Structure 1
Amino acid sequence: MTVIGSDFDAATAPFRRELVVHCYRMLGSVHEAEDLAQETLIRAWKARDRYDEQRASLRTWLYRIATNVCLTALEGRARRALPSGLGTASDDPHAPLVPDLAVPWLQPLPDRHLLRGDPLARAVERDGVRLALVAAMQLLPPRQRAVLVLRDVLEFSAAEVAAQLGTSVAAVNSALQRARAAVAGAAPREDTLRDPDDPAVRDQVDRYVRAFEAADVDTLITLLTDDAVLEMPPVPLWYAGRVDYGRFIARVFAMRGTGWRMVPIAANGQPAVAAYCPDDRGVLRLHTVQVLTVTRRGIAHNVVFQDPQVFAAFDIALVLQRGR
């Protein structure tokens, strides 16, 4: 048995970031993920005298605690969702924009939480937090979700996962098979450009930004795939297809005016923008955070978040100075 003791902070520091990401995959909320990662470390500190390095690595032990903290937090909770997971697409660009604050909406993950450095490891982690994949994970029962994350994303062995969840290897394998089938449609496609630093992705996003800032809807829709999806939590409304996407954006400009500015950011290993809209005095105020899915065929998905909690998680300016 090994006592972590006074070296606890130094010993656990290398894992703190990835524990937040793990809790995010399980909960779909950045703020809850940060709280639960902190709860994990508190529980680990209290149990540090019982940690035995002969039975599990420190990383495996911490993930066992974190997973069970998440499973406890998920008991009796409604799943976090995106509008496209709750109903059919609208074909009315003038549908009422009424937020539904009773729904626990899925939140995006700022890229500052993701790995830096090794390109291969970074790409693997980005694949595991793609917004569509995290949304699909929320459809799973919590224990199936835990099995999928631990086995397929974090690559723990079936025996390790069984020990972490207090179950059998057979039960883990069965749960994994069901979970894989449920999220198969959200797996990255071959034509998906997953790295927001890819020059082709940057070019596509730059062209989208220029078209949006120019209020050029005709050009903007040429950058979309035929089946592009636009959704905007907390409004339970979404559109499918470049035509309805464009009709809705035309409505946005009619309602909010032109002169928008878009600042590139990144979320969930995907390109994103912070969109600023001029108010009545021409002050550019943060309006939305938009997370884009870019493929070789064009922009396939835009999830538009208008949520103060999301803004706070990204730590971006609420007012943009002119000229920026």
Structure 2
Amino acid sequence: MTGIQHQALGMTSHPEAAPGQDRFTAETERFRRELLAHCYRMVGSAQDAEDLVQETYLRAWRSYSGFEGRASIRSWLYTIATNVCLTALKPRPIRVLPSGLTGPYDGLDRPPSPVAPAEILGTTTAAVKSGLQRARARLDELEPEPAELLEPADPRARALLDGYIAAFERSDVGLLEQVLRVDATLEATPFRDWQSGRATCLHVLDAYVLGTPGDWRMIATTANGHPSAVVYHRDADGVLRADGVVVLTPTATGIARVIKFHDPALVTTFGFPDALMR
């Protein structure tokens, strides 16, 4: 933690306080990036997420002396962060992923459609509730069993991430087919449509997303304990511009879920540049 961050957390520089500060930093700082991803997932704004993570650390520091270790330090921080985010969301609607709005889109005749500002579905409340029920039931069917999920440090998880990155950078739909599960799901913000099933996912990615080799560049990272990548897309001037972050759910049989957050601000929030020259 920097001196500025210490000041923001209300920490003093008195010698007698240093041991507690150092211990707090050592135990909590390694979770900052995943807490940032967690807060972003809840509030949908990179700037707000940064502020909420800072508030999380402030609250954690203030109550650190009373932390008894009944839960892991990570779980304790997540609880604080979730409460901070829920408080911030009270005056406004909660942001949800496409799978939280309706069932998967099975059509193959058009690209995914974005949600217009102040618009959700342009339909009735009853239709939204019905779609939610179908979507949740479908997700329950597709959710991997806990035993199938790979730990972030598992070499197989990194191999799947590397394969996904290579597929995009080479515009290779065949390589994508190798890393996705048959029942894989694909969703992205701020689009209202999401896809279920490898064949459908591959069609959408091949037809509307992959482009030509060199259009995409991805750099491996982690988010919320999942293998992830910051994403760059080549613009008309040939510059690779920040595009967002993709988060994967790896299992023993392949990638079960792909979530793409289209938000260039996330790339710099994760500590990466907003553009790459090559």
TM-score by length of 1: 0.57
| CA RMSD, Structure 1 to Structure 2 (Å) | 4.0
Q: Which moved more, 1:233-242 or 1:256-265?
A: 256-265
Among residues 199, 202, 213, which one is paired with 1:258 in the alignment?
Answer: 213
For residues 246-272 of structure 1, give each alpha carbon's deviation from its aligned partner in whole angstroms, at most 9, with x where no partner exists.
111112357x44322222121111111
**In 1: Cα distance, 2:207 partner to 2:35 partner:** 38
Runs of 5+ unmatched residues, structure 1: 105-138, 140-182
Matches within 5 A, 1:1-324: 11=20, 13-14=24-25, 17=29, 28-29=42-43, 31-39=47-55, 56-57=66-67, 69-70=84-85, 72-93=87-108, 94-102=110-118, 189-195=146-152, 197-253=153-209, 256-259=211-214, 260-322=216-278
Tell me the amino acid that sits aligned with residue 84 of structure 1: S
**In 2: Cα distance, 1:75 partner to 1:232 partner:** 24
Give the deviation of 1:311 after TM superposition: 2.3
For residues 16-45 of structure 1, give each alpha carbon's deviation from its aligned partner in whole angstroms, at most 9, with x where no partner exists.
546896797577246545434544666789
Alpha carbons of 1:73 and 1:19: their partners in 2 closer, same or farther (altered >3 Å)?
farther
Q: Which moved more, 1:256-265 or 1:19-28?
A: 19-28
**In 2: Cα distance, 1:278 partner to 1:90 partner:** 28
Alpha carbons of 1:236 and 1:42: their partners in 2 closer, same or farther (altered >3 Å)?
same
Q: Secondary structure at the match of 1:247?
A: helix
Give the deviation of 1:288 after TM superposition: 3.2
Tell me the amino acid that sits aligned with residue 312 of structure 1: T
Alpha carbons of 1:227 and 1:43: their partners in 2 closer, same or farther (altered >3 Å)?
closer
Q: Which moved more, 1:33-42 or 1:225-234?
A: 33-42
2:123 counterpart residue number = none
**In 2: Cα distance, 1:24 partner to 1:289 partner:** 10
Equivalenced residues, count: 233
Give the deviation of 1:299 after TM superposition: 1.0
For residues 77-110 of structure 1, give each alpha carbon's deviation from its aligned partner in whole angstroms, at most 9, with x where no partner exists.
4223111111111123423532444489xxxxxx
Q: Secondary structure at the match of 2:257?
A: strand
Alpha carbons of 1:65 and 1:244: their partners in 2 closer, same or farther (altered >3 Å)?
closer
2:124 counterpart residue number = none
Runs of 5+ unmatched residues, structure 2: 1-10, 71-75, 121-131, 133-139
Q: Secondary structure at the match of 1:28?
A: helix
Q: Secondary structure at the match of 1:235?
A: coil
**In 2: Cα distance, 1:20 partner to 1:207 partner:** 23
**In 2: Cα distance, 1:253 partner to 1:311 partner:** 19
Indicate conservation of the 8 Å contact 1:230/1:301, yes or no: yes
For residues 158-216 of structure 1, give each alpha carbon's deviation from its aligned partner in whole angstroms, at most 9, with x where no partner exists.
xxxxxxxxxxxxxxxxxxxxxxxxx9996862011121x32222222222222222222
Give the deviation of 1:68 after TM superposition: 6.1
**In 1: Cα distance, 2:160 partner to 2:34 partner:** 28
**In 2: Cα distance, 1:247 partner to 1:68 partner:** 40
**In 1: Cα distance, 2:19 partner to 2:219 partner:** 36
For residues 241-300 of structure 1, give each alpha carbon's deviation from its aligned partner in whole angstroms, at most 9, with x where no partner exists.
11111111112357x443222221211111112232222233222233111111111111
**In 1: Cα distance, 2:259 partner to 2:190 partner:** 11
Tell me the amino acid that sits aligned with residue 179 of structure 2: L
